[in-house]
Amino acid sequence: MSTKFKELGKVALSVTGIIVVWWAVAATGIINENFFPSPGAVWLAAVELYQDGILIGDLQVSIGRAAIGFVIGSTLGILIGLLTARTKFFAFALGPFLTLLRPIPAIALVPIAIVWFGIGEGSKYFVISYTVFLAVWLNTHHGAAHVAQTYIRAARSLGAHRTREFFEVIVPAAAPHIVVGLRLGAALAFLSLVAAELSGASEGIGFRLQDARQYIRTDRMFVGLIELGILGALLDQFFVYVGNRLVHWEQL
Amino acid sequence: MSMPQEQTTTTTTATATGRVQIEDVAITFNLPNGDTVVAVDAFDMVMEPSSFTALIGPSGCGKSTLLNAVAGFVPFSHGSIKIDQEPVTGINPDVGVVFQQYALFPWFTALGNVEFALKRLNLGKKEMRERAMEALREVGLDGRASTYPGQLSGGMKQRVALARTFASEPKVLLMDEPFGALDAQTRIAMHELLLRVWDAHRATVLFVTHDVDEALILSDRAHIMSNGPGKIIESIEIDSARPRRVDAMTEDFLKNRNHIIGLLRHPEPEM
């Protein structure tokens, strides 16, 4: 309890320190306000966006997209990962794509996603779920393919048939890796969300960043960037919290 | 006239389960560079039902490999292994294994681990729980039933592993240096516990170790193995009464001990 409190205190101190330095640099006036806004200007921009209902609206839209993409991508990632790790056929059929697909960045998929799914929500879900899928697939595959041999030997000599071996040994043994994949996937969901929203969107954090550029509203851009930072950090903490309870036998 | 005798014979074979017969077994491994390594060669051994056999030898002599072959974990290239006349062709739930690294499932509690072994018996939920608790009581860990392996000491983990393996009532129990990772005091306690539990269940035990004292304290018969390829160089019957204690060694014990240590030092005595 007290260590957690200490940790929070450290974070608060660090953030305050950065804001003070930022504010001090801005106050000297050596940097053009339009180029690099002061903390106060960013705060005012945030308040303005909030009063117009844009801030909350963007958050809702973006979180909704990221969540749907995450659910689709992670479900498929876990299923395919278990299959490629434990069945010869899927390992043969899809194995090479584990390495071939990895270098393709999410943003490179936006044009084809728009052709396939239009500029509506479909293309966003596709880009996000694809990115999440890849991260979760990779980690699930790794975890399920490298289950300690003694676990499998013990399970079989204790009379477990294939189904029980799969659900009571393989899946829990791979669970720590799956959780790592989900955590990574959640971070990547926001990364690809912005990529997807930069073109063909009319709301959302990514759109707002692009929109702010048109009017050189750097203060609004900073609001968007800070939103992404806070959202990502909170989500990561959430996954660590849930993950440590879900796979309590392994410290994440 | 010969009828009664025949009947007796039949009854004896039916109740006497867990006889292990290893005949002329060779185990080879193929290395990635194409070479073949003979780990075990021309290996013969018989384990009578409910006997306690120790296999002693230096590291890398193939004793664990042989145990793995009896367990059905690794295939053998020559000879036969039979358990109650049935050839070993793969992993068999009648053969229980206790591993050096415990192999407890960390995602299940102590009770969950024992229940895992009982599931193949298709008991009702209540009966399964009772039998699992009984198995934990036998090793003195019924108070830690809901503890996860991560919170147990090494000795406790191995006690849960023993309870888990005995719970499924194996005919043959294979133990691969099960107490190798434990400190000396815990080992002594584990020896007593193992003999007590074994007395109650009476499986045929094959106990692999490199510790001469351990083999002499536990087994009825100790086979000493030599290095590459592994084979038995001498077998010793140990008929002194249990419990045997390291701190109260009999003359026989010391004689056997010195003899075995001598053999291990000079595995191939000059003729």
Contact B239, B52 (CB under 8 A): no
pLDDT of res. A1: 56
- pLDDT tens for each residue of B137-176: 999 999 999 999 999 999 999 999 999 999 988 999 999 9
Cβ contacts of A153 on chain B, cutoff 8 Å: 71, 73, 91, 97, 99, 103
Question: What's the rounded Cα separation, in Å, for the pair B209 and B55?
Answer: 6
A150, A169, A250 member nearest B99 (Cβ): A150
pLDDT number for residue A4: 81
Q: Does B64 lie at the interface with A, CB-CB under 8 angstroms?
A: no
Backbone angles phi, psi at B267, to 5 degrees: -60, -35
Tracing tokens 């133990």 back to the chain, one arrives at B175
Contacts of B108 in chain A (CB under 8 A): 168
Cis geometry, peptide bond prior to residue B93 (ω within 30 degrees of 0): no
ipTM at complex level = 0.86
Determine if residue B85 is left, alpha or beta; phi over 0 gives left, psi from -120 to 50 gives alpha, anything else beta: left
Could you say which DSSP state residue A158 is in? Answer: T
pLDDT classification of B267: cutoffs 50, 70, 90: low
Range name among A24-38, A223-237, B4-18, B88-102 with the lowest pLDDT average: B4-18
Selected residue of B100, B108, B116 to mutate for chain A interface (largest A Cβ count, 10 A): B116
E-state strands within chain B: 20-30, 36-47, 52-56, 78-83, 86-87, 95-98, 172-176, 204-209, 221-226, 231-237
pLDDT tens profile A199-209: 778 899 989 98
Q: Is the pLDDT of residue A67 over 70?
A: yes
Higher local confidence (pLDDT), A51 or B61: A51
Distance CA B209, CA B81 (A): 21
Its pTM stands at 0.84
Q: Does A158 contact B93 at a Cβ distance shorter than 8 Å? A: yes
